Every structure is written in structure tokens, then in C-alpha cells.
Copies of this chain bind each other. A is one copy, B any other.
Amino acid sequence: MNKWYMNPGEQDDIVISTRIRLARNLDDFLFPSKLDAATKTQIGGIIKDALDGCEPALNFTDMSALSHLQAVSLAERHIISPEFTVQAEGTGLLLSEDESVSIMLCEEDHIRLQVMKPGLDLDGAYEEADSIDNKVDGKVNYAFDDGIGYLTSSPSNLGTAMRASVFLHLPALTENGRISDLANTVSKLGLSISGVYGKRSSPIGDIYQISNRLTLGITEQTAISNLQSIVMQLIAQEKTSAQRLLEDTAGQDRVFRALGILKNARVLGGTEFMQLISLVRCGVAGGLIDIPIEKINTLIIEMQPATLSVTNSSIETVAQRDIARAEAVRNSLSQ
């Protein structure tokens, strides 16, 4: 079955994906950090039962049964949080076949439900998350306060307990250095922006996640609509900058050389791959290169180190992984 990220979406020349994440807790239990493994397992069972017959169907995975590589691969694909790769006993994962819907069971909260959509689709993602949330809500008692809203383990999520995120590819705004100014502006508007891959101080691949920070005293709809309007402005600014970059022969040269290397290299490290695919994605978005953007997005997800290793059992060393990455990229881009 196709994964969710293999499909096109709105504004997908610049917006890679949209994510809605809801945190929920059951009223009858302490927060997960205070629970033993058996109780966590019990809670997981309650939630699994509550979602029986859910559309899409969610498959259960006992986190402690996974290899570390499999867990890291889930985090690379943003299906679980990096913290959840520790795989404490009793924690679990519910995941739809296309990987668009996932629920971490007994991570920081009892329920961490997320819905991913390709391109910009905050309303669509929220609707689907809300409908799954309602299904559970009808069968369990949520920890909820009429004045505050949903109660969460961390005070920063109190209220809507919703984190809406948009993943943007902003190569031109990174190139011309405007991204740091924009991060400051966005921060003043109650949103946060950070690099998705690499270290926070030096993100690679020019992919950024922009999210709402406020959850208290604000409705989900207002938070989403604020985020949507900032994202539309970022898209417009990136397009203007990208046009300027790609009008220039030197800019075109960089984009096409990146394509030439990706289509021909025999060894491709993870960081170099991200730098080159970012240039190629910029060229695709700008109409210079004719490759479906979903194919680029798929490579960005599937060429991450642990994910590549999980899907290719012959990889045992970094050197083998870099050769396998080069081969997979070549095959994908030459089709």
C-alpha cells in the first residue's frame, strides 16, 4: 500500500506535509511517568479497544519488541518522537497502513495521536484527528477541566493540547539568509520554527517545521488559522526568493549539478544527499526539473539512515549504507 507521503498535496512545491498532534490522558490514571509497565500496558489495551473498528485500521506494535534501528526509523519518519525510541516496557504504537495516523501509547501522555497529510492541509488533518479523538472520547473519560481544557503531563500543552505543524522546504530563504529574521518574526506571533533534519543550529536540507506554541486560551480553529496565514506568507516569500535564485545561471548550475551527482554517484552520505536533494527539489518547485515532487519527498523520508538500513537487510556498515543510498537514489531518479 502507498504511504501517505507518496501522494500529491496542496502547495506541495513548498509544503512537504502537515501534521496535527493531540495529547490526551485518561482521567482514572496518573500520567505515564508515574506508572509501572503493567499499568501502561493496561492503558494501551483500553485505548486499543476503544479504537476497534476505527477507519483507517490501526495496527498495534509493542514498542519494546522493536529493534533499536526499527524504533529510530519510526522517529526519522516522524511517526514517533525521538524520546519514544527509548522503548520503555508497556509503551505501544498504533499505526495505520499508510502511516498517516499514529498513536503513541504512554509516551509523555497516555495518548499522543497524530495525523499526517501531504502538502498543506491543516483542516483535513485536524478533521481526521478530531474524528478519531471523538471515537476514543465516547468510550473513556478524558482528563479535562472546564476552565483549562485538556490536562496534560507538560503544562506547555494544557488547553487544546494540540500541536499543529507544517513542514516547509525553504531553500531560497535559507540561501539568502532571511530565514533567521523570519524565525524571529514567527516567534513573536506565538509560533515556533526549527530545522527538521540535522542539528538545530545547522539544519540540513532546508526543511523547517513551523508549529503553534499557544494551546491555552485559544481554540483549535484560531490556532490553525493563525498558522495557516503565516505559512501562506512564508510560501509567497520563498517563491519570490526562489525565482530570483533560479533566474541566475549560477543558481541553475548548482541545481543541475546536484541532479547530475544524485543521478550518477556511487557513494552518497546522508548529509550530502540532503544538501543535493534540497537543490533538486528547489529546481523541481521552480519548474526547471521535471520530476514528481512526491518522488523527491519520498526519497527524503526513505533515504534517512535508519529507515534505509531497516528496508535493506544487507546493510551492516556506514560505507555499505552510503553505497545503497546512492543506488536507491539513482534508481529512483532514472525512472
- A residues touching B (Cβ–Cβ < 8 Å)? 249-250, 252-253, 256-257, 259-267, 323, 326
Contact = CB atoms under 8 A, between A and B. Distances in A.
19 contacts: A249-B266, A249-B267, A249-B323, A250-B267, A253-B265, A253-B266, A253-B326, A256-B264, A256-B265, A256-B266, A257-B260, A257-B261, A257-B265, A259-B264, A260-B261, A260-B263, A260-B264, A260-B265, A263-B264
Given A253-B266, A253-B267, A259-B264, 10 more contacts: A249-B266, A250-B267, A252-B266, A253-B326, A256-B265, A256-B266, A257-B261, A259-B260, A260-B263, A260-B264
A250 to B, nearest CB: 6
A263 B249 CA distance: 16
Number of identical protomers: 2
A250 B260 CA distance: 17
A202 B253 CA distance: 27
Nearest to A256: B264
A325 to B, nearest CB: 12
Contact of A260 (B249, B260, B267, B323): B260
A307 B250 CA distance: 24
A249 B261 CA distance: 15
A326 to B, nearest CB: 7
Contacts of A263: 260, 264
Ranked 7 nearest A-B pairs via Cβ = A260-B264, A260-B260, A253-B266, A256-B264, A253-B267, A252-B266, A260-B261
Contacts of A326: 253
A264 to B, nearest CB: 3
Contacts of A265: 253, 256-257, 260
A173 to B, nearest CB: 22
Nearest to A250: B267
